[in-house]
Structure 1
Amino acid sequence: MSTGTGPGPLPIRETVAPATTTPRRTRTTRTTPYLHYVAGKLAGALVSLLAVLITGFFLFRLIPGDPVRTMTGGRPVSAEQLAAYRREFGLDLPLWQQFTDYCGKALTGDLGTSYQFRTPVLDKITEALPNTLLLTGTAFVLYTALGLTLGTRSAWRHGRLGDRLHTGLALTLYSVPSFWLGLLLVIVFSVGAGPVPGLFPTGGMEDAGTEGFAHVVDVAHHLVLPVLTLVAVEYGQTLLVTRSALLDEMGSDYLTTARAKGLRDDAVRRRHAVPNALLPTVTLIFVNLGRTVAGVILVETVFSWPGLGGLFYQALSVPDLPLVQGLFLFFASAVIVMNTLADLVYPLLDPRVGR
């Protein structure tokens, strides 16, 4: 009996399961939540601008007075002449038609023509804007730097004499009306009070006939009192917000860890505490930037500064409806844009925002 040796059993092939790899987060995956966040903020800004556009039209029509009669300066004018003026400025149209014309032109950048100046509103804004930026921009840089510096030092040395003095002075000045402080500075340092002679001009931006470097010095001389008024009133807000935000961070564990590593107190404050306390201060800085563009109506009026604030006050007295509406839209747009920019900067400072 013969036994044949046939082919043996097939060898068992070992199958190795493919290694599972954790999918990497792609750039698109990381940026998608932020893009949604940006889209939501931009949509909110557009809704706010639309609300400002509508509010500005109806709000200033509640102001008592007839702009046509005001423009005639009290001169005797016939009814036919008044009707011609109203037709020229579109005041004879129904309110709904005035509103649709206003919205349609504003969306294309046409803010209308000023009643009293007979020039486009946008030209008047462009003409006065540099003067406002010079005044409020200079004050913004000074009171922001002063508020951040003193607010940081007050928080880090809270409870000491310097902290109590800085906080008390900031609260006092922040509570003072800007126009009242401006008038007080004019009385003391422009008109002169007692032994203090009049050192600065009472108002305006420049004296006639100055040129070159003398003109620069003259403008700086006129700039001192309005800038001092704004800095005195506004620096306290930055100081208090910075101090409060930094005090909230000072008890955190990461600061204790940083000190345990041997870092000096100044390094702990600069590298760790201050950057993490910046969010509320960033909001305030951007809001103040919007106000810088918009100007400060009362201060510019007190010091007869030829900026947007003084122009707005002058337009209200007529009332010059196209100019008032255009300035109101410009002011509100500046604040809305700056607030939106602050929202977009937040995720760069704190990655938890917008995720």
Structure 2
Amino acid sequence: MLASLLRRLIQAIMVILAMTIIVFVGVSVIGNPVDILINPDASQAEYARVVAHLGLDRPLWQQYLMFLQGIFHGDFGTSFVYNKPALSLIVERLPATLELAMTALLIAIVVGLPLGLYAGLHPERLSSRLIMSGSILGFSLPTFWVGLMFILLFSVQLGWLPSGGRGETASLFGTNWSFLTADGLHHLILPALNLALFKTSLVLRLTRAGVQEVLPQDYIKFARAKGLSENRVIYTHVLKNLMIPVVTITGLEFGSLIAFSVVTESIFAWPGMGKLIIDSINTLDRPVIVAYLMMMVMLFVALNFIIDICYTLLDPRVRLDTKGK
């Protein structure tokens, strides 16, 4: 098992290195930030001075080596717009995005897992068919449209929840969080529900498919033949085995919640990384864009590595296959 984890760690490092090349080249060949940062009436000397100051006059390979050296030192450069270290800007916005993503994932698991389990155990019931029909809506409805409808219904028409912002926050471990205050929770509900809608449908359908696959297995029939109670069969045998794909997909989806919460954050004016990256793309703020992309790469690689470990712990067959190699 140790050799397998070491091999996966080396693979993760190679993936990160390859992505540094892709991210750097992809960002560096798009547009010229100097055209946005300086006055169009500026002289050629001023233009050249800004280009030299940003290091854009050097060959791409030199810029890449400088970029790679900066990554190893945690330095992604200084934002062209905010004149602050790019990484610090990302870290400042990270708690808001992380809080939103974790809340959305929690909603998806708490709602999707039991509904999917019920629909899988009782597929012929009308309620199960209604649940599955609802999950299709969760997949089909655009996130931006659902967000606008949430605002129109719960904020404008009913006046129950605020339409945007993060609300009042409280400090925990030196970081401000919305869920620690009543006002912050009110502001968190709508964007979290909007972000969780698709993921809830995914967890629901994945759980139902897992139940349908596990129930006909011989070990389930044997457990029932031994006289085990239905609850023990479900929670000990069925649920444990279907958790393997659920854990795998859920871990990856958590990364996507963080990386792709841009639409939800924009609609609800949630001050997370999504709004920052949109503004940075509009102004060609390369250091911030690169820092954000590299953080997302490292996040997904780390999540995959953690999922591999969890998968190995949940499924003994993976450990046996590893030993046999």
TM-score by shorter chain over 0.5: yes
Residues 152-301 of structure 1 aligned to structure 2 (within 5 Å): 152-190=117-155, 192=156, 196-206=157-167, 216-294=181-259, 296-301=261-266
**1:290/1:337 contact within 8 Å kept:** no
- Alignment CA distance shift 1:269-1:133 (3 Å): same
SS of the residue corresponding to residue 265 of structure 2 reads helix
C-alpha distance in structure 2 between counterparts of 1:53 and 1:180, whole Å = 35
Q: Which amino acid aligns with 1:41?
A: R
**1:50 and 2:17 equivalent?**
yes
**1:68 and 2:34 equivalent?**
yes
SS of the residue corresponding to residue 352 of structure 1 reads helix
C-alpha distance in structure 2 between counterparts of 1:81 and 1:216, whole Å = 50
**1:78 and 2:43 equivalent?**
yes
Q: Which amino acid aligns with 1:230?
A: L
**1:295/1:308 contact within 8 Å kept:** no
CA deviation digits over 1:205-263, x for unaligned, max 9? 2379xxxx9x9222222212111101222200011111111211100111111112222
CA deviation digits over 1:259-285, x for unaligned, max 9? 122222222100111101221101012
* Greater Rg over alpha carbons, structure: 1
**2:80/2:287 contact within 8 Å kept:** yes
- 1:327 matched residue in structure 2: 292
- 1:143 matched residue in structure 2: 108
**2:150/2:190 contact within 8 Å kept:** yes
- Alignment CA distance shift 1:293-1:197 (3 Å): closer
Long gaps (5+) in structure 1: 1-33
TM-score (norm 2): 0.90
SS of the residue corresponding to residue 150 of structure 1 reads helix
Q: Which amino acid aligns with 1:91?
A: L
Aligned length: 314
CA deviation digits over 1:163-199, x for unaligned, max 9? 2111111122122221221122223333x3xxx2444
2:2 to 15, 23, 35: 35
Q: Which amino acid aligns with 1:245?
A: G
Long gaps (5+) in structure 2: 170-177
TM-score (norm 1): 0.82
Q: Which amino acid aligns with 1:172?
A: L
SS of the residue corresponding to residue 21 of structure 2 reads helix
Name the one with the larger helix percent: 2
CA deviation digits over 1:274-333, x for unaligned, max 9? 101221101012112323444611111221211111111111111111100110010121
